[in-house]
A = this chain, B = another copy of it.
C-alpha cells in the first residue's frame, strides 16, 4: 500500500468541482460537487445527534438505496434547525444539480456545514448549478476540498493505491473539520461537523462498502475529538465506481484490502482534522493499555482526550501527569492507580502511580513542543487497548468560538 499525500492520485470514474456561490459572507469557495461517471455503489454514516440537519435526513434516506451519482456539499450554512423550509432548501439544491447532471434527484447526496439555525439559500445553489457542473474535472479534488472548509486552516486530502489479486485500486479521501468535532455516527457512531468523503475506483456492492466504511470509521473518526461536541451535520460518505479491482467477498463483506485502505485514508484525514482543530497547536495520540477490555480502554482514552484540564496542560507544554491520571480515574473504569505508568513518546514520567522526577518531566516537556506526540497510559496488565486522537485547548480555540457567529 502506497500513501500518496499531498499528491492526489487519480480515481477512475469521478470528477470534482468547487466554487464560490455566495453562501459564505466572505466570498470564499463554499459549494462542492463530486460526480461519478455513472450511478455507482454508495454508503454513508451520519451523526447520532438527535438534532439532525436537513441534508443529513435527505442523504441518509437516499443512500439507503445503495446507489448514488453525486455528492453536493456546501460550507457556510449547516441548514440545521431550519424546519420544513430547511428541508425544502436542501431538496431544491439537489434538484437543481441533478437536473444540470441529467440524473434523478435521489442520486444526489447533500451535506452541509456552517452555522446552525440559518436557512440555506438554495437560490444561490440553483443559480450556480450549471457552472458547478461545467467546472467538473478529473483533477478537481483540490477545488472540492477547498470549498467545504469552515474554520479549517487548510484542506484535508489523502489518497492511496491498493492491490487485490494483482489488480490495483485507489482511494481518495476528502474531509473538513475543525470544530464541533467528536464524530459519533450511526450505524456505528462519530462527532463535529465533520464531513468526510471517500471515493474509490474499486468495485464493492453497497453492503460491503458500508461494512468497510463502518470498520474504518470506528477505528479512526470515532476515536477522534477536538472539543467533545458531536455535530448535527456529521456525514461520512463512500462512493465506489467499480472501474478497478473487485474489493468485495460477496454482497456483504469487503475485501480486507479495501478495509485497510479506507482505514488508512480515514486515519490520515482524522489526524488532519484533529491537528487542525480550532486553535490547536498539537496533535496528541492518547494510548491506553492494560485494562480488562478494549471497550474499557476506549472509555478511559476518551475521558482523557476530552478533559479540559488535560487539553489546557498540553497547550501549556506541561507534562501534568496528575491531570492525566485524575482524568483516567474519573472514567468509571476499574484499575489500580498505584500501578499506573504514564509515558510521553516513551519517556516515563509516572511509574507505579508516582512521579519519576523532574528530569523526566523536563525531557517530556521538550517533547510537548512538537506538533504531534503520543501520551501513553498503562493502567494494568490486561489485554484491553485503545487510542484517541485529541488536540490541545488553547487561546485560539476560545477566540475562534467566542467570536464564531459575530
Residues of B close to A179: CB separation below 8 A:
309
Contact of A229 among B309, B318, B338 (CB under 8 A): B309
Stretch at the interface among A21-29, A60-68, A256-264, A326-334: A326-334
Residues of B within 8 A of A228 (CB): 306-308
Whether B50 and A330, one on each chain, are in contact in the complex, defined by CB atoms closer than 8 angstroms, is yes
Q: Which residue of B lies closest to A393 (CB)?
A: B398
Q: Is A325 an interface residue (CB 8 A)?
A: yes
Partner of A80, one of B51, B320, B322, B328: B322
Given A51-B337, A335-B50, A394-B401 contact (CB < 8 Å): no
A328 to B232, CA, bound (A): 11
The residues in A between 62 and 86 inclusive whose CB is less than 8 angstroms from any CB of B are 78, 80-83
Given contacts A81-B337, A395-B399, is CB(A318)–CB(B49) below 8 Å? no
A116 close to B (CB within 8 Å): yes
Question: Which residues of B sit under 8 angstroms from A309, Cβ to Cβ?
Answer: 179-180, 227, 229, 401
The reply to whether B116 and A325 contact each other, CB–CB distance below 8 Å, is yes
Residues of B within 8 A of A50 (CB): 328-331, 333-335, 337
A165 at the interface (CB under 8 A from B): no
A320 to B232, CA, bound (A): 14
A354 touches B322 (CB 8 A): no
A272 at the interface (CB under 8 A from B): no
**Chain B proximity of A399: nearest CB distance (Å):** 7
Does A353 touch B at the CB level, under 8 Å? Answer: yes
- Is there an interface contact between B49 and A231, defined as CB atoms closer than 8 Å? no
Q: Flag if A398 contacts B401 (CB, 8 Å).
A: no
**Once the chains bind, are B316 and A402 in contact (CB under 8 Å)?**
yes
Are B83 and A401 interface neighbours, CB within 8 A? no
The distance in angstroms between the C-alpha atoms of A321 and B50, with both chains bound, is: 15
Identify 19 new A-B residue pairs, CB closer than 8 A, beyond the known A81-B355, A228-B308, A395-B399. A49-B326, A50-B337, A51-B330, A78-B322, A80-B322, A80-B326, A81-B337, A81-B353, A83-B352, A83-B354, A115-B322, A116-B320, A117-B355, A180-B309, A184-B330, A232-B325, A316-B401, A318-B404, A393-B398
The 5 nearest A-B residue pairs measured at CB: A116-B322, A316-B402, A51-B329, A312-B401, A50-B329
